[in-house]
């Protein structure tokens, strides 16, 4: 009976264990499902708003691109007035959103808006303000052009520059006072407003790129026609009335010298607004969201000198190229050869500087900074994305040089120049990314070879208070123990040695080991300054008409006129943006070193 009962009890316990395990597993599954459901319900509105606003902005951009493609065909159904009307409506909507955003923030006087200190810097906003001033001058020229031809042009050509000037002023104010905001209220509405501003500026950038490319292509066709090449139709935009003022030609010719600044302004603003869009609803990491100390400029000698030499030579090359490319075939070829030789020298120095910076970084083992930073991530992505344009152009030139039947004097210099462009961007991108993702060296790092300071453990009076009449020095504070020991040393002679405070140890060590001048930082700062000025130089040349890829004839013979001009219309704007974005990133590198 006992054994039977024991067996029954064991059997019951077995079944009870299986039932309890199954119930516990079902409860754990329910808890897991409820947590998953809760996380989905919490993240769903944010992800849904991101997806909806991103699709909205993409479709707005595609509508503008469709209008641009129709205008490029020069058909009678779609004209420039339709595109300008669409962009004007987008700018008005953005103005209304910015006004609403500022009014809502001003009415919330008690609440404090969080700021992302990495979203932008003072000097970037200052540079954008300068570009905005040049854009306002361009709007003034457009208004003057409209006043001279108002009897035979559409009213859209007069309304557009007025709205664009108002949009530029309001947007600069927004950049100075609100671009660092981390939005935590009305998130869905604000996502649509910010992404609308992003793609409005992208359309303004695309419109400027298309107008500037068409102007340069028409000038190129005129030069080819003068040299005897036929079957090239030049698009003439002649008006059927006379100008009422004497400055119309000055206004129309001056516009194209201001287009590069307007183009860079809009693409940079769209990048900054995209960072603001990514920051909506973001929880900031307070440990990494701190301002950096002031940048030191000590030891800057060789970098600025070489950079100024590069800028001066660039201006000379630009003046000689623009004047000689319009001349005879011989002067044209000499101007193109001069450009390639200059480019080879510049790229060799830039590759050497970037490689030296990478070697210095490899010699100093500093861990990477893995904190979440949307601005830094966007900088890295834009560097690689904008490099594609010049890489495509360079490899097309390499293929053309190796397969072309003609052999002009600049054939192999073009080959070397194209390969160096690929290598220089490769090295420079690595140098910038390595610099941006290294941990800050503002705080002194501990030397692993030095022995660790001894740790002093003590039990304070808050944990175990001493009893009256009984003095237990184990429960005294370290300061009190030191005072007692010092008093005993005065009476009985030096028996104990009181441990020093950590601050005293640090100060003593600092006095004993003087800090050596950091030569590595000086070298990196000079490299950064030289690369900044070199990238400005390589931006100036194509921005103001020095584009030998149109003139040398090698690529045009291999790929054909239409295909090669399509490649250039895609690659040249990306290359211009890459150079200016590299300037901004390298200045950030200079500040971080």
- Nearest CA among 553, 569, 541 for reference residue 414: 553
**What digits encode the pLDDT tens for the residues 304-317?**
999 999 999 999 99
Q: Report pLDDT for 224.
A: 74
| Chain segment 496-534, per-residue pLDDT in tens | 444 444 444 344 444 444 444 488 889 999 999 999 999
Query: Distances in Å between the alpha carbon of 165 and those of 98, 130, 140?
Result: 15, 14, 8
CB burial string 451-471: b at 16+ within 10 A, e below: eeeeeeeeeeeeeeeeeeeee
The whole-number average pLDDT for the span 316-322 is 93
pTM of this structure: 0.77
DSSP string, 293-306: PPPP-TT-SHHHHH
What pLDDT, in 10s, does the model give residues 525-584?
A: 999 999 999 999 999 999 998 999 988 888 988 998 889 988 999 999 999 999 999 999
Tens of pLDDT, residues 360-404? 988 887 777 777 788 888 889 999 999 999 999 999 999 999 998
Tens of pLDDT along 70-128? 998 877 788 889 999 999 999 999 999 999 999 988 887 666 778 888 778 888 899 99
- In order of 155, 170, 260, 364, 480, the CA distances from 541 in angstroms are 35, 31, 11, 36, 73
Range in 32-36, 268-272, 380-384, 392-396 the model is least confident about? 32-36
Residue 135: how many CB atoms within 10 A of its CB?
Answer: 27
| Residues forming a β-bridge with 368 | 438
> DSSP assignment, residue 259?
H
Helix (H) or strand (E) holding 114: strand 114-115
Contact 427, 406 (CB under 8 A): no
The CA angle 589-575-561, to the nearest 5 degrees, is 170
pLDDT higher for 491 or 236? 236
Alpha helices in 325-373 (DSSP H): 329-363
Q: What per-residue confidence (pLDDT) applies to 113?
A: 76
For residues 134 and 256, the answer to whether their CB atoms sit within 8 Å is: no
First-residue to last-residue Cα distance in the chain: 86
The sign one gets for the Cα dihedral 104, 105, 110, 114 is: positive
CA atoms of 385 and 379, how far apart (whole Å): 10
Residue 89 CB neighbours (<10 A): 12
Please give the helix or strand (H or E) that residue 181 lies within, else none.
strand 181-182
Question: What is the rounded CA–CA span in Å between residue 168 and residue 172?
Answer: 6
Provide the pLDDT confidence category of residue 418 given band limits of 50, 70 and 90.
Answer: very high
In the predicted model, what is the mean pLDDT of residues 330-340? 92
> What is the rounded CA–CA span in Å between residue 543 and residue 541?
6
Assess whether pLDDT exceeds 70 at residue 39. Answer: no
pLDDT number for residue 11: 46
* Residues 510, 504: Cα–Cα separation, whole Å: 10
Find the helix packing angle between 411-436 and 374-403, rounded to 10°: 170
Full DSSP string of 26-60: HHHHHHHHHHHHHHHHHHHHHHHHHHHHHHHHHHH
Lowest mean pLDDT among 118-122, 138-142, 270-274: 118-122
Q: What pLDDT sits at residue 74?
A: 79
What value does the mean pLDDT of the chain take?
Answer: 79
Task: Look at residues 149, 347, 168 and name the one whose alpha carbon lies nearest to residue 249.
Answer: 149
- Angle (CA) 228-231-237 rounded to 5° is 100
Q: Other C-beta atoms within 10 Å of 178: how many?
A: 16
pLDDT band at residue 233 under the 50/70/90 scheme: low
Buried b (16+ CB within 10 A) or exposed e, 234-269: eeeeeeeeebeeeebeebbeebbebbbbbbbbbbbb
Beta bridge partners of 181: 115
Q: What integer pLDDT is reported at residue 571 of this predicted model?
A: 93
Give the tokens for residue 563. 């295909």
CB 289 within 8 Å of CB 310: no
Hey, CA dihedral for 259, 264, 267, 273, is it positive or negative? Answer: negative
């Amino acid at each position: 009976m006992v054994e039977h009962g024991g067996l029954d009890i064991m059997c019951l316990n077995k079944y009870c264990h299986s039932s309890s395990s199954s119930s516990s597993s079902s409860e754990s599954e329910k808890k897991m499902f409820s947590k998953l459901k809760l996380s989905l319900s919490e993240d769903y509105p944010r992800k849904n708003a991101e997806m909806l606003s991103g699709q909205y902005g993409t479709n707005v951009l595609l509508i503008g691109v469709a209008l641009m493609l129709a205008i490029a065909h020069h058909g009678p159904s779609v004209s420039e007035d339709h595109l300008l009307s669409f962009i004007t409506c987008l700018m008005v909507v953005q103005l209304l959103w910015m006004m609403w955003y500022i009014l809502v923030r001003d009415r919330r006087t008690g609440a404090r808006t969080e700021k992302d200190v990495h979203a932008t810097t003072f000097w970037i906003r200052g540079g954008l303000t300068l570009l905005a001033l040049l854009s306002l001058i361009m709007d003034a020229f457009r208004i003057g052009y409209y006043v001279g031809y108002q009897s035979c042009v559409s009213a859209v050509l007069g309304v557009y520059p007025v709205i664009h000037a108002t949009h530029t002023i309001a947007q600069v104010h927004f950049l100075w006072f609100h671009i660092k905001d981390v939005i935590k209220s009305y998130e869905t509405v604000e996502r649509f407003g910010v992404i609308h501003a992003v793609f409005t500026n992208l359309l303004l950038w695309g419109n400027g790129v298309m107008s500037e490319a068409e102007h340069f292509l028409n000038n190129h066709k005129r030069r080819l026609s003068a040299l005897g090449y036929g079957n090239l139709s030049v698009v003439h935009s002649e008006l059927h009335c006379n100008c009422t003022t004497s400055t119309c030609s000055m206004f129309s010719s001056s516009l194209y010298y201001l287009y590069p600044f307007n183009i860079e302004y809009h693409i940079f603003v769209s990048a900054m607004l995209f960072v603001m869009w990514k920051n909506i609803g973001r929880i900031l990491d307070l440990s990494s969201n701190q301002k950096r100390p002031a940048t030191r400029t000590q030891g800057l000698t060789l970098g600025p000198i070489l950079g100024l030499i590069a800028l001066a030579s660039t201006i000379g090359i630009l003046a000689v190229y623009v004047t000689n490319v319009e001349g005879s075939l011989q002067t044209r070829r000499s101007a193109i050869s001069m450009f390639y030789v200059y480019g080879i020298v510049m790229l060799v120095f830039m590759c050497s500087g970037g490689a030296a910076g990478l070697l210095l970084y490899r010699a100093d083992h500093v861990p990477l900074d893995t904190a979440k930073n949307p601005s830094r991530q966007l900088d890295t992505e834009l560097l690689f994305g904008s490099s594609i344009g010049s890489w495509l152009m360079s490899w097309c030139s390499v293929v053309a040089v190796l397969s072309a039947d003609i052999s002009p004097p600049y054939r192999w210099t073009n080959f070397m120049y194209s390969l160096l462009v690929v290598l220089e961007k490769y090295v420079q991108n690595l140098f910038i990314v390595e610099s941006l993702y290294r941990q800050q060296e503002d705080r002194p790092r501990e030397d692993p070879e030095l022995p660790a300071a001894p740790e002093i453990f003590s039990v304070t009076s808050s944990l175990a208070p001493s009893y009256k009449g009984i003095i237990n020095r184990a429960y005294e504070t370290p300061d009190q123990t030191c005072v007692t020991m010092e008093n005993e040393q005065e009476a009985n002679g030096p028996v104990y040695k009181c441990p020093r405070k950590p601050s005293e140890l640090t100060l003593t060590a600092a006095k004993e080991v003087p800090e050596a001048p950091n030569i590595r930082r000086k070298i990196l700062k000079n490299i950064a300054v030289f690369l900044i000025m070199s990238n400005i130089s390589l931006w100036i040349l194509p921005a103001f008409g020095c584009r030998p890829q149109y003139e040398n004839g090698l690529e045009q013979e291999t790929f054909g006129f239409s295909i090669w001009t399509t490649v250039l219309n895609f690659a040249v704007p990306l290359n211009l943006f890459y150079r200016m974005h590299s300037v901004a990133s390298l200045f950030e590198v200079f500040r971080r070193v």
